Amino acid sequence: MPKLNIVESVRDALDCEMKKDKSVIVIGEDVGLNGGVFRATDGLYKKYGNKRVIDTPLAESGIVGSAIGMAIAGLKPVAEIQFDGFTYPALDQIFSHAARIRNRTRGRYTCPLVVRFPYGGGIRALEHHNESPETYFAHTPGLKVVIPSNPYDTKGLLIAAIRDPDPVIFMEPKRIYRAVKGEVPSKPYTVEIGKAKIVKEGTDLTLIAWGAMVRECMKVAESLDNVNVEVIDVRTIKPCDYETIFKSVQKTSRAIVVHEAPLTLGFGAEIAAQIQERCLLQMNAPVLRVTGYDVPFPYFKLENEYLPSEERIINAIEMVMNY
Amino acid sequence: MKKTVAKFEIQYVQILNEKGEVDKKLEPKLSVKQLKEIYKWMVLERTFDNTALMLQREGRIGTFAQSLGEEATHVGATFATEKVDWVFPDYREHIAFMMKGVAIKDLLTHWGGSEDGMKLPKNTNMFSVCIPVGTQTLHGVGAAIAAKLQKKKFASLTFVGDASTSTGDFHEGLNFAGVFQAPAVVVIRNNQWAISVPRTCQHADWGGCQTRAETLAQKGIGYNINSVQVDGNDVLAVYSVVKQAIDNAKKGKGPTLVECVTYRLGPHTTADDPTRYVDSKTLKQWEKKEPLTRFKLYLKKKKIWTEQFEKQVRKEAKQLVDKGVAEFEKHKPKPTDMFDYVYEKLTPNLKAQRLEWE
């Protein structure tokens, strides 16, 4: 089985679906001859031509808005937005239209669209290139929000997203784009959207994370001898697999959510609320959150001070265990 | 060195003047049947408009955006499309829906406060009402790009208002249309008002207007798109120019921007009071130029229009609208539908919320 990293898995998934389904097209800035600034579409232009791998003018609302028109007219566009911070000009099209077309027309029209983009900090990038905007999307009814953390899930979830009849926001953790290689079958396969995964079993405490933070949580979980930590990779924050989370927390009686986005109204707040509604009496400690601070993502000299670190996660674990 | 590297001009097209006199050289070749049909649609839109206004005043529908005075633009442009062509409206082109086969009942259901109204018939390429102005430009252009990619022979017709030309999405849409040579036609219904802000500047050095550009059509020039200004109260001119644009689009000759200069004779919506800002003299001048009277004069000269024909057309329009009202008033939305159409399948959260509602 070939070993791929996350960015190669993205390309592999796009290739599989473009081969299988002629209505799948890729649209975005620099996705053509250049193969995308992270090379996620490398080679597709040569293989499928400029009518299916479409370089657009630099206009994010234009990319998503025209992709919506294409989806209405029968295509399955996969729109690439170059960086997290540049999804903002397209939010109106995503919130006001992509998310609502099915509901507004009571199912007469649908919007099978994928908007994928690299997200998160940790790569010494410029301002606006480090955002974790998952809450904005998850808050909007009608959207699905998928965030893989490893190469196998990336391919399976992206194929599932392309085949999904509803708009999917697909966020790729750029910090670990090339950090991990894993076995990825060359055939197309799907990983179900809406299913979390227990990546490490444990008995004392549940760490809940997605994207690049799964790796940080795993490092912590494996480094601790005195606490037996269970780690959940949420994989899809909308719809979120609360059943898996509840089951784990009911077993461990303790939970910490870890994410890069700022604390206030980060998706950790929603998970914590859901846990207290369903598991209050089984809990031995309050649910804690280890997250980015409520500040604009700092320029790169301070980014490691902002991002949840192993040390901060360990401190939170100590607080919860000693509660 | 200095030299002119590009030069542009915008043409204005009028075929039927305010007295109903026709420019013989430009007169489109329409059959008597087609001319009668155009008149019927215009009368139907006016009839629907009056009835909807009454329904709103009586609290039987919600806020309503009238089309009064803009009938030539809506009917002329839509009449230029074929069944295969897509129409992307904003919220004022009620007749475009009817011309594309949508029932009056459904339109009233929409304005009566239910999503059920936009569950449009399966066999029509009419898209739903779009409220955020200008955003639909990209949908129309995107659908046209899809036609080109799939080698399908349809064009898209997108309606936007004059204020839409101030939005980014309008410009991104035109740019995409130009770049991909999309078979797209964008019609600007320039009714001169964005609620209370006029299209044309009143002050030499300050705002309070939509744009300082001489025409809205010229905004297409920046994207190398065929751009024309038309008398939007002249249904023959609107039809001819849009028909040519649709034909060109389908022949691979690229997109067209058509500015139809008309006038909003009513309020922005029923929630608006235009007496606060519209000068009554200007309004009276435009009332004289309204499109139905002009087209009627033309049909009269052609001996198509008779008192009898008028009576018949009005009667038919009233019957159709009355039937639509009666059907609409029987409609009741199903509350659980608000959960059932967010996604193809209910998510676990929505399932729980739906259960809680029940």
Which residue from A23, A93, A238 is facing B138, i.e. has the nearest CB? A93
pLDDT of residue B201: 87
Q: Do residues A172 and A202 both lie within one domain? A: no
Q: Pick from A183, A214, A234: which residue ends a domain?
A: A183
ipTM: 0.96
Residue B314 resides in a domain: yes
The CATH number of the domain holding residue A93 is 3.40.50.970
Residue B353 resides in a domain: yes
Q: Do residues A86 and A225 both lie within one domain? A: no
pLDDT of residue B204: 85
Helix (H, G, I), strand (E, B) or coil at A258: strand
Residue A31 resides in a domain: yes
Residue B4 resides in a domain: no
Task: Choose among A207, A214, A221: nearest CA to A182.
Answer: A214
Among chain A residues, the shortest Cα distance to B175 is held by A57
B178-213 pLDDT per residue, tens: 999 999 999 999 999 999 999 998 888 898 999 999
pLDDT of residue B202: 84
B122-175 pLDDT per residue, tens: 999 999 999 999 999 999 999 999 999 999 999 999 999 999 999 999 999 999
Most A CBs within 10 A among B88, B153, B341, hence the mutation to make, goes to: B341
Cis peptide before A239 (omega within 30 of 0): yes
Q: Do residues A104 and A174 both lie within one domain? A: yes
The CATH number of the domain holding residue A259 is 3.40.50.920
Rounded to the nearest angstrom, the minimum Cα separation between B122 and chain A is: 7
The CATH number of the domain holding residue B263 is 3.40.50.970
Among chain B residues, the shortest Cα distance to A167 is held by B343
The angle, 0 to 180 degrees and rounded to 10, between the axes of the packed helices B307-330 and B32-57 is 50
Question: What residues of chain A lie within 8 A of the CB of B128, using their CB?
Answer: 101, 104-105, 108-109
Non-local CB neighbours of A257 within 8 Å, separated by 6+ positions:
A208, A209, A267, A268, A271, A272, A287, A288, A289, A290, A291
| Residue positions of B annotated with a catalytic role | 264, 268, 277
Count the domains in chain A. 2
A287-319 pLDDT per residue, tens: 999 999 999 999 999 999 999 999 999 999 999
Question: What residues of chain A lie within 8 A of the CB of B173, using their CB?
Answer: 62, 65-66
Helix H or strand E encompassing B317 = helix B307-330
Asked if B149 is an interface residue toward chain A (Cβ–Cβ < 8 A), one would say yes
Residue A191 resides in a domain: no
Q: Do residues A119 and A83 both lie within one domain? A: yes
Question: What residues of chain B lie within 8 A of the CB of A103, using their CB?
Answer: 115, 338, 341-342
Rounded to the nearest angstrom, the minimum Cα separation between A317 and chain B is: 29
Count the domains in chain B. 1
Residue B153 resides in a domain: yes
Q: CB A66 to CB B175 under 8 A?
A: no
Per-residue pLDDT of chain B (358 residues; tens, 9 = 90+): 999 999 999 999 999 999 999 999 999 999 999 999 999 999 999 999 999 999 999 999 999 999 999 999 999 999 999 999 999 999 999 999 999 999 999 999 999 999 999 999 999 999 999 999 999 999 999 999 999 999 999 999 999 999 999 999 999 999 999 999 999 999 999 999 999 999 998 888 898 999 999 999 999 999 999 999 999 999 999 999 999 999 999 999 999 999 999 999 999 999 999 999 999 999 999 999 999 999 999 999 999 999 999 999 999 999 999 999 999 999 999 999 999 999 999 999 999 999 999 8
Q: Do residues A55 and A102 both lie within one domain? A: yes
Q: Do residues A80 and A224 both lie within one domain? A: no
Q: Do residues A155 and A284 both lie within one domain? A: no
DSSP codes of every residue in B92-109 = S-HHHHHHTT--HHHHHH
Residue B333 resides in a domain: yes
Q: Do residues A175 and A214 both lie within one domain? A: no
Tokens 């529908």 -> residue: B61
| Strand A197-200 with A182-183, pairing | unpaired
Task: Choose among B221, B220, B240, B246: nearest CA to B137.
Answer: B220
Strand partners, B185: B157, B256
Residue A151 resides in a domain: yes
Q: What distances in angstroms separate CA B267 from CA B46, B66, B130, B132, B196, one per listed residue?
A: 15, 7, 19, 18, 9
Among chain B residues, the shortest Cα distance to A57 is held by B176
Does this model's pTM top 0.90?
Answer: yes
Residue ranges in chain A whose pLDDT is less than 70: none
The angle, 0 to 180 degrees and rounded to 10, between the axes of the packed helices B104-111 and B307-330 is 50
Most B CBs within 10 A among A52, A63, A72, hence the mutation to make, goes to: A72
Q: Pick from A133, A148, A183: which residue ends a domain?
A: A183
| Strand A144-146 with A236-238, pairing | antiparallel
Q: Pick from A127, A149, A183: which residue ends a domain?
A: A183
Question: What residues of chain B lie within 8 A of the CB of A110, using their CB?
Answer: 344
Helix (H, G, I), strand (E, B) or coil at A157: helix
Residue A97 annotated in active site: no
Q: Give the pair of three-digit tokens for residue B115.
A: 């999503």
A-to-B residue pairs, Cβ atoms closer than 8 angstroms: 141
Rounded to the nearest angstrom, the minimum Cα separation between B172 and chain A is: 5
The domain of A255 spans 197-321
Q: CB A92 to CB B169 under 8 A?
A: yes
Q: Do residues A168 and A230 both lie within one domain? A: no
Q: How far apart are CA A63 and CA A68, in angstroms?
A: 9
